[in-house]
Amino acid sequence: MNRLMTIAASICLLAACGEKPQTATGARSDAPAYTGTGKAFAEKNWKQGDKASWESQLKARGANSQNEYQRTN
C-alpha cells in the first residue's frame, strides 16, 4: 500500500515538471473591413459585405471630401 502511494505521489510530483504546450501563435486574424459592422450607423452608399462597392465608396468619399479642386473647378 505504501509503495503504491509513493508511486502515485511521485507521478503527481513529476507531472508538475512537464512542459505545457505553447499554442499561442501571435495576433488573431481580423475580419476584412468590407464585411462591415452589420449596424445601421454606417455609410449608406455601399452594400456591407460587397468588397467592390466598399472600395469604390471609400475612393469616392476620399476624392470628394479631400480634393477641393474637384469640388470648385
Partner 1 sequence: MARMKFICDAERCIECNGCVTACKNEHEVPWGVNRRRVVTLNDGIPGEKSISVACMHCSDAPCMAVCPVNCFYRTDEGVVLHDKDVCIGCGYCSYACPFGAPQFPAAGTFGVRGKMDKCTFCAGGPETNGSQAEFEKYGRNRLAEGKLPACAEMCSTKALLAGDGDMVADIFRTRVLKRGKGAEVWGWGTAYGSRQAGQPGAKAPEGAKS
Distances (CA, A) of 19 to 8, 14, 15: 19, 11, 9
Instruction: Tally Cβ neighbours within 10 Å of residue 4.
Output: 8
Q: Which CB sits closer to partner 1, 21 or 26?
A: 26
Q: Least distance (Å) from partner 1 to the CB of residue 21?
A: 17
Site for partner 1 in 25-54 (CB under 8 A): 25-39, 41-43, 45-46, 54
Q: Which CB sits closer to partner 1, 6 or 67?
A: 67
Q: Does 57 bind partner 1 (CB under 8 A)?
A: yes
What are the grid coordinates assigned to 44, written together?
A: 449608406
